[in-house]
Each structure stands twice: as C-alpha cells, then as structure tokens.
Structure 1
Amino acid sequence: MELVKKQRAKNWLADMRKMGVVSPENQKWSNADWFPRAIAAGIKKMALVVPSSTLAQMSVDSIMGQVKGTDLETAYFDNV
C-alpha cells in the first residue's frame, strides 16, 4: 500500500488467471484487512482478470461480494 500512496494510484489491475482457490481464512483477511487498506490508500477502481478455474472464480465471487456497498468500482475481464 505504500507504493499506492506514494504514486497516488487510483486504479488496480488484478490478474487472477492462474489463481487457485482462496481459503476461507484468506478470504476473511482480504475483506477485513486488504480491501479496507486499499480503499483508504486511494484505490477507486479495480479491474479483475478472472481465474480460469471455476472453483477459483467462486472464491473471487465470495470475496468481491463482501466489497459491495463500498466506493470501490469493479469490472471483470477474461483477459488483459
């Protein structure tokens, strides 16, 4: 997050094509720790390149479902 603050980044690209299933513990950490810090650091928009694995996609859906209701705009893509 230091680089996000230093560069005043507003956008984040998450290439998740090779990502596997995210454990419930890591999903919880993402929602309770990572996303609040990213938003506080200034991230306004997030582009997600979705994983090829259906199970990994379900992990992403679960995580991103918790982000709804924040000011973070998200968009999903199949490739970069």
Structure 2
Amino acid sequence: MSEIALETESYGAIYLDSEVPCIIIRWFGFANSEQLHYLMNATLDYYIAECRHRPGPLGWIADSRGLGAIKPNDQQWLHTDWNPRTYAAGVRYIAIVEAESVFGKISAQQYVTNVMQSTEYTFYTRAVPTLEEAKEWLKEVLATAPNPN
C-alpha cells in the first residue's frame, strides 16, 4: 500500500498517497462538530504543505465508508467556510468513497448537492464504491489536469 499516515485520531485519519497523487481523509465513524472541523482543517493544511513541493496537481479522496451523520450546521460550515478555502488552496478533484451507513450516505449526498449548487467554487467530484476506484479516477483526471497552484 502506498499510503503514508500523516495523522490518526479515533474518529478519522489523514493519509498521503504519492502514487496517485492525493491526500486522503478517512472517517472511522461519527465525528462531533469540533472533531469534524479539526480533521477537515488539518487535512487541508497537509494538502497545502504537500502542494508547496509538488510539481503537478494533487487530488483529494474522502473515504466516507465509515462516515456518520454530519449535522446541518456542519454542512453549512463546509459549504460556506471550508469549501471556499479549499478551492482557494487549489483543490479541484474530489473522489468520494461511498459511505456504508445510511447517515453517512445522506451526509455525503448533501455535501455533493451543496458543491453542485455553489457559484463560488467548482469541484469535480465522483462518488465510487471502493477506494481503488477513487484512486484510479484521480490518476486518470490528474494525468491531464492543469496545476491550479
């Protein structure tokens, strides 16, 4: 496995896969607001740091298999605060590994709906059933993608 663990918490972890290349946020279960904000912001910080010394674009995988519910106020924070900062940092391609729980599925679907309705930022997203498919899709799109950084 080409993933390098960057940070691990009880509710989720952050990895770097240089072969794709991409940053991966993996959820292990429900994260409260403070935990969700922390791990999302930490993943963005790792993304920014990695982009500083990478010549090409870097993808993003949200491994949502273990994702729990995301509360409406956190969805709003993602939509109005985190997503614009993430776009400004250069994130363009996000692969989402589909959640196993119904609450995780609803949360991921709401996130994608918010992304599609935004006029402030444009992410190219793809929901896939496996991590391997997420990596393959990112490899394909990143091979011809311009570097936004």
Question: Which TM-score applies when normalising by structure 2?
Answer: 0.50
8 A contact 2:61–2:96 mirrored in 1: yes
Partner of 1:5: 48
Q: Which moved more, 1:51-60 or 1:6-15?
A: 6-15
Larger Rg: 2
User: Could you list the runs of 5+ residues in structure 1 that have no partner in the other structure?
Assistant: none
Q: How many angstroms apart in 2 are the aligned matches of 1:21 and 1:5?
A: 27
Question: Which TM-score applies when normalising by structure 1?
Answer: 0.87
Q: 1:72 aligns with which of 123, 127, 130?
A: 123
8 A contact 2:66–2:104 mirrored in 1: no
State the aligned residue count.
Answer: 80
Q: Which has the higher contact order (CA 8 A, sep 6+)?
A: 1
8 A contact 1:15–1:50 mirrored in 2: yes
Q: Does residue 43 of structure 1 match 2:94?
A: no
- Give the match's secondary structure for 1:46: strand
The alignment yields a C-alpha RMSD, in angstroms, of: 1.5
Q: Which moved more, 1:31-40 or 1:64-73?
A: 64-73
Partner of 2:100: 52
8 A contact 1:4–1:42 mirrored in 2: no
Residue 54 of structure 1: how far off its partner (Å): 1.8
Structure 1 consecutive aligned stretches of length 4 or more whose deviation exceeds 3 Å: none
The code of the aligned residue for 2:97 comes to V
Percent pairwise identity: 26
